[in-house]
Chains A and B, each alone.
Chain A
């Protein structure tokens, strides 16, 4: 594989893109696909498949690992017409979602389509996710307890 030749930061950038893609809903991914003016040919190297991943926790939160329980995961590997290989992993059982993540992962890797994927797919999704997080944070912050001490008796 070409891992060793990847420029520094390339892997981190791809991981970041994949992390956002994995959290996009099927509808959002399908809209992004529909919005593509120039759709590539897509071949399934490994058709979408659902299986289990054992989620681990740590004893005490930060100690030795233990097995917490499983989650459903769906994965898919695709190859574009130009040979670029994309991989998708999503929580749950949505095969279309996993396949679309793989397609956009492949498009992200291609120098000619990466700017488009970043601008039209990743960036808006990242913005939405940040807005969702901010909303939850603000709602949670509203339930923060402001302690005050009652002074008893006369002064």
Chain B
């Protein structure tokens, strides 16, 4: 029960003023610029864009600054901001096959057309803190190798040529689900599931993906391919009568290749899970692809026995803005509710005491 209670305005105003002061920290230390955040904390910015479900680097950097680096708070700020803007429409689906690739690796094939390019990765670093970064050391320019990369076909398309792997789901003449327009209902189709996962909490999806590896809905996954780079955003402009490219965004894509599925009639083929995320979000894209695959259990005739296969459980709890809203609302005043509970427990105890007295 919610009952309006007045009071506390001055305390709230003073608390917010103190928050602003605390956010700023020691005023002898220069204030962070948004460019510094966008350039040097770029993966925090990417995460805020992905889970805020709004691609805008400057706004995400501002949100990180305002939220004092609390990324879920920053994501909340971005989600709130997007509700103030009109929707112009939707883009053509981005073409990851023609991405300007900055990183592309496969754990399944050593020799690929286009090769394996490590790009800017934490992989193979020793995870030792670098004391030099306490300062601003001079850095060598990146190494260059002047050769044409050529096309980098998706690994799943290469396997597809042999029919060893299930193809991409065919186009269907159905509207694309949008959970920002209608609330989720179950069962949810894969389009809605992928949308929810793409904006879902990285930590939650990471834990769920990990749970499938540990046996809770095992799928025997291999990373068919991870690619990072820029894709063109193209929109239809009705008054022009044609589509235009309006710029590029960075995305990370993961193709997870998982255990076979076949029948007496259909020869066995690898199945797949898919991850696609705004920005450079490799861990998230991988976790997403594992969970996408786990959620296809019903479609692939597998028993739903594990949490990661339960779409209502996964999709209802993947959104960290929803989760934090409901968890954190517990700290708001519940005086009246609690008063009712207190009355109840006192009555119960009195009744038991009365019974005990009567028994003696």
- Residues in chain A within 8 A of chain B (CB atoms): 1, 3, 11, 15, 18-19, 22-23, 49-73, 75, 77, 87, 89-93, 133, 135-145, 147
Contact = CB atoms under 8 A, between A and B. Distances in A.
Interface in B68-110: 82, 85-94, 96-97, 100-103, 110
B49 to A, nearest CB: 8
A124 to B, nearest CB: 18
B321 interface: no
Given A67-B195, A92-B56, A23 B82 contact: no
A80 B150 CA distance: 43
B253 A61 contact: yes
Size category, B interface: 35 or more
A3 B238 CA distance: 12
A52 B168 CA distance: 28
Contacts of B102: 136, 140
A62 B274 CA distance: 11
A22 B50 contact: no
Contact of B178 (A15, A54, A63, A77): A54
A66 B292 CA distance: 13
A71 B58 CA distance: 12
B61 to A, nearest CB: 12
24 contacts: A15-B242, A19-B245, A52-B88, A54-B87, A54-B89, A54-B91, A54-B178, A55-B94, A55-B233, A56-B90, A61-B156, A63-B168, A66-B177, A66-B190, A66-B192, A68-B278, A70-B87, A77-B239, A90-B247, A92-B58, A133-B100, A138-B144, A141-B147, A143-B119
B90 A67 contact: yes
A23 B233 CA distance: 11
A53 B233 contact: yes
